[in-house]
Every structure is written in C-alpha cells, then in structure tokens.
Chains A and B, each alone.
Chain A
Amino acid sequence: MKQLIQLKINGQVRDVAIDTNDTLLEVLRENLGMTGTKEACDLGECGACTVLLDGRPVHSCLTLAIRAQGREIETIEGLAQNDNLHPLQQSFVDRGAIQCGYCTPGMILTSKALLDGNPSPTEHEIRRAISGNICRCTGYVKIVEAIKAVAEKEA
C-alpha cells in the first residue's frame, strides 16, 4: 500500500506517495521526474546516484525513501540559480571534465560537499573525496583540475 510522505528536496517540500521498498533514487527519478540523479550499478558501488543528505554525499540507491523524511536532500537540479550554473558546474564545462556525463551529477555533488567543508583542499583530499565516484570514461584528471580550479578561485 502506498503511503504519503514529505521530502525536502533542494529546499522545497514535496509530497510523494511511496511504497516502503522504494529507494530515494527511484522516488526522485520516477515519482518526481528528477532524472538528473543517475542510476547505474544500483548496488552502491559506482556513486552515480550520489545525492547530499544533510550536506553529506550518500548513495540514493541504498537509501530507503521512507528514511529520508525530515532530512535535507540536495540533488544536481538544485545547484544552478536560474540560468547561472553553479561554479563547479561551470568549471566542469569549461575544462572538459564531462565526457559521457553519466558520473557528472555525482561528481559535482561530492565535490560540492568537499568544498563546503574544506574550501581549499589538496589534490590528495580531492582525489580521496571523489574516490567513491567512478568515471568509466576515465576522465579523472580533468575532473580533479576542475574542482581544483574552483577551490583556487574561491580561496
């Protein structure tokens, strides 16, 4: 039986009817049509489905939607302000840190969480922070450069 819950996504409270066995990823993509969050391995190994829960990156494919009630959920759709991309998004575009684009939402959210807590990370810290996000185009060098550029600009 479906039950009605409220989820706070990108600052907006949304009512959704869910089953207990729905993951947050399924609710975002299928109930709310927010397909920016990607589904890849669906087993918590690749990081494509990363969203921020209370500011920290987690796998939305391993999070039961029912357990995300009352927490701040941030997805890639919440980053850009109107037509202005978030500095991280712009930097990824400028530096060609996007190839097929499938890992990009997860990469950007993970790096946003990193920069929110640590505005000037070392390269090692950046690599460690995105270690749970797999880019199968193997474009890691440009991704690290893009994150570094934002950190340097803001510092």
Chain B
Amino acid sequence: MRLPRFEYSAPTTIDEAVAELSEYKDEAMIIAGGTDVIPSMKQRRFTPKRLVDIRQIRGLEYIQSNKDIRIGSLTTLGFIEESGIINQRLPMLAKAAGEVGAPQHRNAGTIGGNLCLNTRCWYFNQSPFFRQCRPVCYKLGKDDDKCQLFPTRKGKANVCYSVYSGDTAPALIALGADVCIVGPGGERVIALMDLYTGDGKRPIALGFGDILKEVIIPFPSPLSAGIYLKHRLREAIDFPLVGVAVNIALDPKDGSCKQLKVVIGAVASKPVIVAGVDEIVQGKKFTDQLVDKVSSAAFDKARPLPNLLGCSQKYRKNMVKILTKRALPLALQKLTDNYTK
C-alpha cells in the first residue's frame, strides 16, 4: 500500500527540529528509524501533514561510558546488540535490543524510537479495509469515540487499553535508566518510567517539540545481574505477548539480596514495575520459596487485557509468573558465573 502524501523535512540540528516540531504541533510527526511510523502511515492510522526526519541530525548516534553509560537516541538497536561496551557492562540491554523484531528492523530502528513505541491493540493495528465497516476506536478517533474492546461499558470515562510492547524499556527501567529530553523549554532529565503516561491514547509523555536525546544508565554494581525474557508467538519478528526484566543486586558481605527489580512489559499501556519485591527479598538468600513468592507478586501485579491476538489474557498472566520464575535463577546463575570469573 502506498504511503499517504506528506511534506518531508530533514533538519540537521536539534534546535531546528525542535523549532519545526513546535511550529507544526500535532500536524507533524517524528521519523527516526521509521519501522513503526511507516507501517502506521501505510495503514492510514496516522496521516501527518509533515514528517520531520531527525535521522539527519548529527551527533546523536553514540555509546559513551564515563561516569555512567550514555546512549544517543539515534543509535540503532543492531549497533547496541553488537556493542562491546553494552555486552560487557549491560548484557541485559544487549539481549533486549537483540529481541526486537527482526534483524532488518534492528538495523533501521533506533533505541529512541523503541522507547517511544506507540501502544498496540488488535483493534487499532488493523488495515483501512478492516476499519471501514467498523466503528472508530477511542485511540484512533475523537474523545467521545468508544474503546472497541469494551464498547458497551457504561458510566466510565473513556479509557484506551492498548498495550505498550517495547522490549528495551523494561530492561532499561530495571537498570534504573533516565532519559534526556530536549524541548522548546530546554533540556530536562526524567526517569525513564516517567516517559510513560499509562494512557493508551497518549502513551508517551512528550509534548509538541520534544525530542528524546539520550538514555542515561548508571553503572550497575559489580555484584548485580539482570535478564530480560521475552515471550512471543514466533522466535523472531513478533512483538512480545509478555516480557519480563529482572535485575538482582547482592550484598558483597554475605551474598544476601540487596535489591531486586522486576519490570513487566506488554501487559499494560506502560511497563509495569512490580512494587514490593524489595521487601520480600531484602536481606534474604534466594531459595526456591523466595523465587515463588516473587513470581506470585509479579503475577498479582500483571493485569493483561484481551487486546493482543494469539493467546488469551489468562495465558499471558500465567506466563508472567512462569517467566519471572525462569528469569530469577538465570540472573543468579549469571551472577555466580561473573563472580567466579
């Protein structure tokens, strides 16, 4: 299917891009790798008047390691997957980047684009042919259009339940990453988790003129290890049905658990941090019972809805528990491997 017509511009500096995006407001869209925007435009989910190509901006493609690790937002996922520094210092991120889509997507797609991925839903991500005989959903339409997952639900404000399906975000949140955003008001640094509104209609907390500039990841403590497990229909190409990232830090004195982060992807309109796992594990050594407790906590926290094709919501909820149960021993194994090395 042909792309709709649009004006194309390729600013070469961030300031120019910010000025242009602030001028055109909702009539402009950013294109970086294009692997998410182009299919959406082909299927007429978006028909922006102007497409602002930020790929021509110089100096946003880098991986730096000084006081912390900084990744420029235009760095491709394929580059991160193969990067020596990332594989050595943040193997969980290298793995998560390598799980995105297919190699072709990773060669074009950028880390910034993956973090700002639009939310998905089986009703929303359809062709014009599918949509032409059905009502417009809340995410695609106006504020008084109904969410078509629950069209008869009454008395409640309209909510969009589409799913955030990024792979790198859960891993980066588990690693405690921040993001730097440049906008009309200058630069600001926010926690990555705050980039996500949780509102399926407007999932990314970027205003008009805002551009994600870099991702800042603190060095993980030497006695820590993380892992990201992705569950999907096929081993490649697909978005996750569920993704689980865990990051464990141990106390060097007695090997008890100092910190644990569990982040679930693809179960809500934003990545979900499983709160309270720290209290379950702090100061204790990992046993099978403890792993069970943590995975039950993750299971309780995950509330997937029937918005993805391929399996039931119940199955996805159960897979959260199973993936957490698999991830924790794997992360611990990695820790002991690193320690004995």
Interface residues of A (CB under 8 A from B): 19-23, 26, 42-45, 47, 50, 53, 56-59, 61-64, 66-67, 110, 128-129, 131-134
Contacts and interface: CB of A to CB of B under 8 A. Distances in A.
B2 A26 contact: yes
19 contacts: A21-B6, A26-B2, A42-B1, A44-B35, A47-B102, A57-B104, A58-B104, A59-B35, A59-B105, A62-B34, A62-B35, A62-B39, A64-B34, A128-B103, A128-B236, A131-B103, A131-B237, A132-B101, A133-B102
Given A21-B6, A132-B237, 4 more contacts: A42-B1, A56-B107, A62-B108, A131-B236
B8 interface: yes
Interface in B99-117: 101-105, 107-108
A127 to B, nearest CB: 9
B44 to A, nearest CB: 12
B280 interface: no
Contact of A131 (B5, B34, B102): B102
B3 A23 contact: yes
A63 B107 CA distance: 11
Contacts of B102: 47, 131-133
A22 B51 CA distance: 13
B236 A132 contact: yes
Contacts of B258: none
B42 interface: yes
A56 to B, nearest CB: 4
Contacts of A26: 2
Interface of A, secondary structure class, is: mixed
B7 A20 contact: yes
B146 interface: no
Nearest to B98: A128
A139 B100 CA distance: 24
B237 A63 contact: no
A43 B235 contact: no
B189 to A, nearest CB: 30
The 7 A-B residue pairs with the shortest CB-CB distance, nearest first, are A132-B102, A131-B236, A21-B3, A20-B8, A56-B107, A43-B39, A62-B38
Nearest to B7: A20
A57 B103 contact: yes
Contacts of A131: 102-103, 235-237
B70 interface: no
B107 A44 contact: no
Nearest to A66: B8
A132 B105 contact: yes
A47 B104 contact: yes
A59 B8 contact: no
Contacts of A62: 34-35, 38-39, 108
Central interface residue in A44, A57, A63, A67, by most chain B CB within 10 Å? A44
A50 B4 CA distance: 22
A129 B103 contact: yes
B251 interface: no
Contact of B104 (A19, A42, A59, A128): A59
Nearest to A64: B34
B278 interface: no
A45 B34 contact: no
A45 B233 CA distance: 14
A45 B103 contact: no
Central interface residue in B6, B7, B34, B78, by most chain A CB within 10 Å? B34
